[in-house]
Chain A
Amino acid sequence: MADSGVTDGAVGKDGIQQAKIEGKELTKEEKQRLRKEKKQQKKNKEKNDENASKESEEKPVSAAAPTPTQPSQKAPSAVPAPASLPVPASEPQPAKSKADMKAERRARQESERASKKKGDAGQPAATGKAKAAPSELQPVVKRLPEHVQVDNPEVLKKLAKKLEKQQIPLRLDYGHKVSLFSHLHQYSRRAPLTQQIGIPSTVIHPAIVRLGLQYSQGIVAGSNARSVALLHAFKQVIRDYTTPPNEELSRDLVNKLKPYISFLNQCRPLSASMGNAIKYIKKEISNIPSQYREEEAKSKLLICIERYIDENIILAAKAIAKSSIEKISDGDVILVYGCSSLVNHILCEAFEKKRKFRVIVVDSRPRLEGREALRRLVQRGISCTYVLISAVSYILPEVSKVFLGAHALLANGYVMSRVGTSQIALVAKAFNVPVLVCCETYKFCERVQTDSFVSNELDDPDDLIVTRKGRTQLEHWQEVPSLGLLNLVYDVTPPDFVDLVITDLGMIPCTSVPVVLRVKNMDQ
């Protein structure tokens, strides 16, 4: 027993050490083996603890080292089943503990690295674990993202170091922050990150630089638009990519993408949809079999990205439009807020299908995105009314339905969307008007959030300044120490305000979001 145990353990150790020498990540099989070992060691530790407590009356605790070995040697004889796995545990205590510790340390490093890849490996690990041991649930501890820990100087230092390594400039916060939001970044639009990069930039692909600038100046806005732009930029990056010698495409390309993602994050914090798209790309890249030639691999990746956009954005929009048109009847007065590409698409489709309705577009300062929606709808010939959000309780008695877009749907059923959405849902609820949220499933995210403070985005505070009748009241707000401006971008709507969520998988209530997430994870 002990011999087989030693050899088994030795093989495991060798494999791991080899990987350590190469400095690469462990392959999937090695990771799974490590995980199994760790699980078994945990189980045996528990058994040993039980037996140790049983025998503690007979043998004192100081003789703890020999004690566990005795019952563990008894245990394999008692437990006939997987003989190979408990065998490593039956090794003499000091040897076992060394291998054990090494394996545990390796496993911890792997899990940390996996969590750095935005939970990418964590997901297959979760499914693997789920299949192996359905009673074990995924551990809760995930690392808190950096962008909600701005008030922690250590996190900032780590970020600065990471960016320095990747040769990306660090963007500085601007202006006096409201104390409730001191844990978030606040940038100024007039100081884009691209000013600090030399031309031509050798580290960052020019398509990414352009994209970053478009994000930070608000030229590309809206979660669908940002995701599609991101994916197109990545396609360009992949087309221009050449594998350096002695590197594998699947690993090197992922490492190349990391500084780009940090750069884009600095330009404007990533949205949930972008995060999901990036996860998908990284998974596709790391799943490229090593025998593919470079051209094959690149074309495969391009096809994957095209398919992702097609399935999750374009076809999803068509499916959602088809379901929503059933909800729009003749004579309806529909209220929309801001500019959601999906909701605009639905309304235009419904108008094509000759439904008779009119639209009320509600807008809010300082972004005034509703004007864009208004232009698009008026161009199609839909009769529209336009008001600001402060007039919504005046106009709501006329309204029969409210259609809202979403930025992300959180796992506890809350809808994260443009600031003001929760207000519209609140007033609609007070007037008993149904609220329908339209959202593609690729925007569903596993985070949970109950208020709009803990994780949000602070936009440029200077946007709130307005000049009326030649007087600008807040022009010198920076000089007044007790005055602060707050320009929030997102807010969360509680699920009791939302009556229906229309997705490409069908019409679901808000509370079914975690079910959809689980189904999607199992598919993957």
Chain B
Amino acid sequence: MPGPDKEIDLTERIEAFLSDLKRGGCGTGPLRGSAETARETTSLLRRITAQPRWSSAGDLMEIIRKEGRRMIAAQPSETTVGNMIRRVLKIIREEYARSRGSSEETDQQESLHKLLTSGELSEENFGQHFSALKANVIEAINELLTELEGTTDNISMQALEHIHSNEVIMTIGRSRTVEAFLKDAARKRKFHVIVAECAPFCQGHEMATSLSKAEIETTVIADAAIFAVMSRVNKVIIGTQTVLANGGLRAVNGTHTLALAAKHHSTPLIVCAPMFKLSPQFPNEEDAFHKFVSPHEVLPFTEGEILSKVNVHCPVFDYVPPELITLFISNIGGHAPSYIYRLMSELYHPEDHEL
């Protein structure tokens, strides 16, 4: 029977995805980039939607929430998973509202007026059944997937607006988005890139080799020299793992130092981040914010005698406050950090912030 087979197939795929997530986030840089994770999540959610297990929007949302919580628990630091789930939930709400005849405005934020005038509407339970809902939702998810595939290209298209000739640009670690951005600009302009290697994983080396193959003048520096060379840098362009709700970043370690040095020299700091990295979390919970990996990257086991007497830390992420950031470049254009909260309201529904 195609039904149960498909179900088993789907469960297997979800399990495979979860174990990939668990393995992939070992700190050496994801085995898969965030874009792939986002795409994989979205296609899995599409398959879940395509199943006949649900009858109303509320059921579907409940199923997605349940699966989503499992996925997030597998790798909490991989925030793109949670972001995609929230996007899909918002899509379902919108499609539901449209099927009902759109008594809800596009602005779904809680407002005092709404609270007073339409008390029952806020207790929406999405119980009604619409036959076209499934098709609409799947179509909307397909649109989301297309958008995901085009994010890097959309960002790279803006490169020439921000990079002029003979510039010295600094970056840290390895970001596929920034790589594409710089390569696109290099087709028309000549500039120089300085890459900070970002110990202990030294992903900057890969970035430098890849950029130099595209015939961009690249220099690799050690992390310790970031402030020393910053006085000659015109722009700092970085990627990030997550964009937080207050406009701050959760980026690879060393980024905060880079941002402080740029601020000291009044060098603009540009963050290239696609919209699926925007997460409705705030950097409040100190415990949940940081992720650590094995300290043998920092102090190897060959240093045997002192290892047992010393605490060694190897954090993976850094928090960069929004005051240090000049500009966000995303697939929908450029924004100031103070605008991020507004974008969040377009992408996610406030009730979905806590899954």
Contact = CB atoms under 8 A, between A and B. Distances in A.
A466 B202 contact: yes
B223 A474 contact: no
Contact of B227 (A375, A473, A483, A491): A491
A468 B26 CA distance: 14
Q: Which 10 A-B pairs have the closest CB atoms?
A: A420-B224, A390-B254, A473-B205, A364-B224, A491-B228, A483-B212, A393-B256, A452-B228, A423-B227, A385-B311
B318 A365 contact: no
A392 B260 CA distance: 12
A391 interface: yes
Contacts of B315: 391, 394
Interface size class of B (residues with CB under 8 A): 35 or more
Contacts, number: 162
22 contacts: A365-B222, A366-B222, A374-B310, A384-B309, A388-B199, A390-B253, A390-B318, A393-B260, A395-B313, A419-B228, A420-B224, A451-B231, A452-B228, A453-B232, A464-B220, A474-B209, A480-B209, A480-B213, A482-B216, A483-B209, A488-B222, A492-B228
A375 B222 CA distance: 23
Nearest to B193: A482
A390 B226 CA distance: 10
Given A364-B223, A365-B199, A452 B212 contact: no
B1 interface: no
Interface string B245-277: 000000001101100110010000000000000
Given A391-B315, A419-B225, A483-B220, 12 more contacts: A364-B222, A365-B200, A387-B312, A388-B200, A390-B198, A390-B223, A422-B227, A452-B229, A452-B231, A483-B212, A485-B220, A487-B222
A325 to B, nearest CB: 24
Contacts of A483: 208-209, 212, 218-220
Interface string A485-502: 111100110000000000
B179 interface: no
Contacts of B309: 378, 383-384
A387 B298 contact: yes
B224 A427 contact: no
Nearest to B312: A386
A288 interface: no
Contacts of A480: 209, 212-213
B310 A385 contact: yes
A178 B299 CA distance: 30
B264 A464 contact: no
B314 A391 contact: yes
Contacts of A395: 313
B218 A423 contact: no
Interface string B65-88: 000000000000000000000000
Interface in B155-213: 197-202, 205-206, 208-209, 212-213
